[in-house]
Chains A and B, each alone.
Chain A
Amino acid sequence: MANNIKDIGRRQTLKTLALGAGAVAASNTLPGLMGHTQAASSDPIKVGFQVHRTGIGAAYGRWYDRTTEAVVARINAEGGINGRPVEIVAEDDGTDPKRGAEVVEKFATQHSCDVSFGTLFSHVVYGSSPRAGELKMPYFVVSEGHHVASGALNRYTLQPGITDVKSQVEAMGPFIAENLGKKVTMIYPDFAFGHDHRDYFSAAFEAQGGTILEKIAIPPTETSFTRYFPKIPRDTEVVYHVMVGPAVLTFVKEMGEFFGPSRPEIFGFIDSLEAVDLASPGLEFLEGTYFWEGNPRYAQENNSEFDTAFREAVGVDNNGASVTDAKDISTYGHMFGCWETMYIIKAGMEACNYQGPKDRASLIEAVEAMSDMPHSMEHPQGAKRFNGKTHQTFGHQYISQFEGGRLNVVHTTSIEDTLYEDEVDYTKQSF
């Protein structure tokens, strides 16, 4: 009897264990299967956002962050992508190329992101792009560097939401030659960004019949510029400057002291003064000078409904400052790129019916197939023309004059003004 009880007990125990194990297995497997089925329809699309929260790019990063939050909120309010919500996974890269590559790797292998997005500084793009290519992770940069279109990167790296420095600079040549003068002296930082301006602008300007009288390179460690200004030839008609970094206010102030009231025409890039209040002491010298703007910081009289809605969504007032703090100046000339890039990711995913990482190659192909994009809520800066071979977009550029403490647009280039010959065909690279 005792044996029977023992037997029954053991059998019962084994049976119970077996049932329990089966139940556990079922609960682990079936919901898993069901979850997989549901994944395509309800799991969020995860976008890894490589953001410059610290380091030299922090001011840009802050506004790229706000723009991205705004566009994702809008996309989600419109029903997401393929009916799935978009989730941003943001990681600071410290504006450092080594950390940038680590962040891309983290998106791919730790957070299981579908795509990565949002990098601005060129050296971080260069540092991160090889890993994106190796991990077969679509990498949508918002950098304006010429790196993508130059062919230096790979098929997984695209720049569909912002124009590149080569097209921007080349499009300035005709305006300067026709309106400001034919003899230019260039002042630029002595590193790659400045060298791009030096090389592309001088070629474009000379093609217009202009002359570059002097090219003055400023070492990046420089904090005072007085010894460089005497190098500007006396017959200079236009000073072209593209200084960036914290010393820019000193640069403008010292340039003002050097020229006094009789200055030549001056043309600069807004990169110098992004996130800088134009009412800052010393900048009054810039009154009457001209700037390239990627997107006009100040709302214009004929402002488009799209730009007005974009400002409202991101929280930017008509002067390009935060609606909650008039001293918090945006990086308006660049940050639209995050907005437009997110809409391109959405359009690409919807075009290829993106379901998950296995469709990444299809997503790239879908974006490569894009071409003309109309001025719209998806592209509030203006119409674009994407070149699928070079993975680079082209668009209108704005030239503004500093008048009465604000920037007024005086010229808008056509898209055709910004085009140049293809330097690469990424579609020939295999996945």
Chain B
Amino acid sequence: MKSWLQHTFMHALVLVGLAALFFVLSEYHAGNLARIMIFAVYAMGYNIMFGYTGLLSLGHALFFSAGLYGLTLSMHLLNIPAAFALVLGILASIIVSGVVGFFALRTRGVAFMIVTLMFAQAGFLAILLAGKYTRGDEGIVLAQATRSIGSIDLSDATTRYFAAYLLFALAYGFCAYLVQSGFGRTLIGIRENEERAQMLGYNVQRHKWIAVVISGTLSGLAGAAFALLWGYAGATFATVQYSIYPLLYVLLGGAGTLIGPLLGTAFMFYLIDFASEITPAYMLIAGVTLIALTLFLPHGLAGELRRRWLRWLP
């Protein structure tokens, strides 16, 4: 009961805090926070697979891009309205993650990493090869006039912030429910000891496949939302670095924690933003900071909080 209250308090604090921040922050930082929330959804998706299920993927950019291009191509080539295109973007990521999960889960450990990486690389090259439709590396700009749902203009700063907030809140609420559910606890059980879960009668492969699909869908939702809110899709988002980002966000924030992806995404964003103002060698600062954090806070920011003080942290 006490734990339930603590969880509720934390969730309320996060969601009310994020809503309130819009009215406190400057325009620049509010814009940043909107981006951070969308990429935190991406990281939350990654966390389901990596943090809760123990599957380390190096190919999540493919899922992000499936959503990104699912929405963008629908709008750009077929003139489909934004709301329906968003659904198609999510659908694309469900299909892609379902297929990738089906094949990649035949492998384990390092092989799983390599297979997911190869799938993502194939996706990146496919985007380039389909340049006639995707405009490859240059990408596609979504006209401002098309980026609205009904009469809601999603290119407006306030609307964009609260659209990002809504998606974040939905993803956060879903993950909060998922990790406390029987299914979520089974995923944790698989992460901790896969053989034991199997011996207990759980269909481990099926659970892992569903985790991949959920993870890929959240990633695709982030990709579709990014294209819709910022009006651009390009092959860069399918490159390896965009598979590494959610891994970094989750590791820094705390794998297997609910709040970790948000903390990690915000930390990385501002680390780059501040460091780049100090020196052109800002990646050196970022690298040293990341090494220091990994050495001294191996469980990530939220992970360390949970280990030291807040044992109840979900």
Please tell me if the beta carbons of B144 and A134 are within 8 angstroms of each other in the complex.
Answer: yes
Task: Please choose the segment from B10-18, B132-140, B197-205 that sits at the chain A interface, where 4 or more of its residues have CB less than 8 A away.
Answer: B132-140
Please tell me if the beta carbons of A102 and B138 are within 8 angstroms of each other in the complex.
Answer: no
A328 beta carbon closer than 8 Å to chain B: no
Task: Please choose the segment from A90-98, A250-258, A384-392, A414-422 that sits at the chain B interface, where 4 or more of its residues have CB less than 8 A away.
Answer: A90-98
> Which B residue sits closest to A62, measured CB to CB?
B280
Neighbouring B residues of A193 by C-beta, 8 Å: 137-138
Number of B positions contacting A (CB below 8 A): 37
Please tell me if the beta carbons of B144 and A130 are within 8 angstroms of each other in the complex.
Answer: yes
Please tell me if the beta carbons of A133 and B138 are within 8 angstroms of each other in the complex.
Answer: no
CB under 8 Å from chain A, chain B span 100-138:
121, 125, 128-129, 131-132, 135-138
Please tell me if the beta carbons of A127 and B232 are within 8 angstroms of each other in the complex.
Answer: yes
Neighbouring A residues of B139 by C-beta, 8 Å: 97, 123, 126-127
Please tell me if the beta carbons of B129 and A130 are within 8 angstroms of each other in the complex.
Answer: no
Please tell me if the beta carbons of B141 and A109 are within 8 angstroms of each other in the complex.
Answer: no
A153 beta carbon closer than 8 Å to chain B: yes
Neighbouring B residues of A192 by C-beta, 8 Å: 131, 135-138
Q: How far is the CA of A92 from the CA of B137 in the complex (A)?
A: 19
Please tell me if the beta carbons of A130 and B141 are within 8 angstroms of each other in the complex.
Answer: yes
Neighbouring B residues of A92 by C-beta, 8 Å: 276, 280, 282
Please tell me if the beta carbons of A130 and B138 are within 8 angstroms of each other in the complex.
Answer: no
A46 beta carbon closer than 8 Å to chain B: no
> Which A residue sits closest to B242, measured CB to CB?
A98
CB under 8 Å from chain B, chain A span 79-120:
91-92, 96-99, 101-102, 105-106, 109-110
Please tell me if the beta carbons of A96 and B236 are within 8 angstroms of each other in the complex.
Answer: yes
Cross-chain pair count, CB within 8 angstroms: 95
Please tell me if the beta carbons of A97 and B136 are within 8 angstroms of each other in the complex.
Answer: no
Binary CB contact string for chain B from 203 to 237 against chain A (1 if under 8 A, 0 otherwise):
00000000000000000000000000011101111
> Which A residue sits closest to B31, measured CB to CB?
A105
Q: How far is the CB of B28 from chain A (nearest CB, A)?
A: 4
Neighbouring B residues of A262 by C-beta, 8 Å: none
CB under 8 Å from chain A, chain B span 121-170:
121, 125, 128-129, 131-132, 135-142, 144, 155, 157
Q: How far is the CB of B236 from chain A (nearest CB, A)?
A: 5
Neighbouring A residues of B237 by C-beta, 8 Å: 98
Which of the residues B132, B234, B272, B280 comes within 8 Å of A126, measured between beta carbons?
Answer: B234
Please tell me if the beta carbons of A109 and B236 are within 8 angstroms of each other in the complex.
Answer: no
B74 beta carbon closer than 8 Å to chain A: no
Please tell me if the beta carbons of A109 and B27 are within 8 angstroms of each other in the complex.
Answer: yes
Neighbouring B residues of A126 by C-beta, 8 Å: 135, 138-141, 232, 234
Neighbouring A residues of B26 by C-beta, 8 Å: 109-110
Please tell me if the beta carbons of A101 and B232 are within 8 angstroms of each other in the complex.
Answer: yes
Please tell me if the beta carbons of B280 and A123 are within 8 angstroms of each other in the complex.
Answer: no
Most-contacted residue by chain B among A126, A220, A221 (CB, 10 A): A126
Please tell me if the beta carbons of A221 and B230 are within 8 angstroms of each other in the complex.
Answer: no
A295 beta carbon closer than 8 Å to chain B: no
Assuming A123-B235, A126-B141, what are 10 further A-B pairs, CB within 8 angstroms? A91-B277, A92-B282, A98-B237, A110-B28, A127-B236, A130-B230, A131-B230, A191-B137, A192-B137, A220-B128
Give 24 CB contacts A-B under 8 Å: A92-B280, A92-B282, A97-B139, A97-B234, A97-B236, A99-B272, A105-B31, A109-B27, A122-B137, A123-B139, A123-B235, A126-B232, A127-B232, A127-B236, A130-B231, A133-B144, A134-B144, A134-B157, A147-B138, A191-B128, A191-B137, A192-B135, A219-B125, A220-B128
Q: How far is the CA of A243 from the CA of B169 in the complex (A)?
A: 46
Neighbouring B residues of A101 by C-beta, 8 Å: 230, 232
Neighbouring B residues of A106 by C-beta, 8 Å: 28, 273
Neighbouring B residues of A122 by C-beta, 8 Å: 137-138
Neighbouring B residues of A153 by C-beta, 8 Å: 141
Neighbouring A residues of B32 by C-beta, 8 Å: 102
Please tell me if the beta carbons of A123 and B234 are within 8 angstroms of each other in the complex.
Answer: yes
Q: How far is the CA of A54 from the CA of B259 in the complex (A)?
A: 31
Binary CB contact string for chain B from 256 to 273 against chain A (1 if under 8 A, 0 otherwise):
000000000000000011
B35 beta carbon closer than 8 Å to chain A: yes
> Which A residue sits closest to B236, measured CB to CB?
A97
Binary CB contact string for chain B from 21 to 44 against chain A (1 if under 8 A, 0 otherwise):
000001110011001000000000
B244 beta carbon closer than 8 Å to chain A: no
B283 beta carbon closer than 8 Å to chain A: yes
A381 beta carbon closer than 8 Å to chain B: no
Neighbouring A residues of B283 by C-beta, 8 Å: 54
Neighbouring A residues of B27 by C-beta, 8 Å: 109
Which of the residues A99, A109, A123 comes within 8 Å of B137, measured between beta carbons?
Answer: A123
